Amino acid sequence: MHIMSSLAGLMGIQLESLTDKLKRTLIISVLIGILVTIALGFALAAGYIALAAKFGPLIAALAMSGGALILALAVYLGSLIGQGSRKRQEVERRHSSESSALITTAAISALPLLLRSPVARTIGLPLAAVAAFFILGNDKDNDRND
């Protein structure tokens, strides 16, 4: 740990101030979480009391448990949809990086051949550079639109 604090000091990071800030943030977040849990408990109790007064205690308990189950199902389905979306984005990102690597490898492989010919050096290299710019520029434009 001594080495880590020395390295942090060399990089200009005050480790003590960071840990103090982290502790304060953690304490505040825990307190907020506890208070929100208490508030939700009272809101559920008030909802149960209101439903029990109108429909009876058995129907109120069934309605609240049914509502909780429906909310749990909605959260689960939402997480499945989000997981599929993240997988799709990861596949697209991997495909984009693989195609960029393939284009780069092809360009590097063709470079010695282009450098041998004087005509290719004067015409081919600038054309290859412009083509690479447009190909790689279009990939970055598509990434920004997503």
**Domain span at residue 6?**
1-55
pLDDT at 77: 93
For the segment 80-110, what is each residue's pLDDT rounded down to a tens digit? Answer: 998 888 888 888 888 888 877 777 787 777 7
Determine, yes or no, domain membership for 33: yes
Q: pLDDT category, 5, cuts 50, 70, 90?
A: low
Distance from C-alpha of 31 to C-alpha of 33, rounded to nearest angstrom:
5
- Our count of domains for the chain comes to 1
Nearest to 43, CA basis, from 51, 53, 33: 51
Supply the pLDDT for residue 141: 46
- Res 11: pLDDT: 60
115: amino acid identity, one letter: L
Residue 43 lies in a domain: yes
What is the pLDDT averaged over residues 71-81? Answer: 92
Could you give the CA distance from residue 66 to residue 31 in angstroms, rounded to a whole number?
Answer: 30
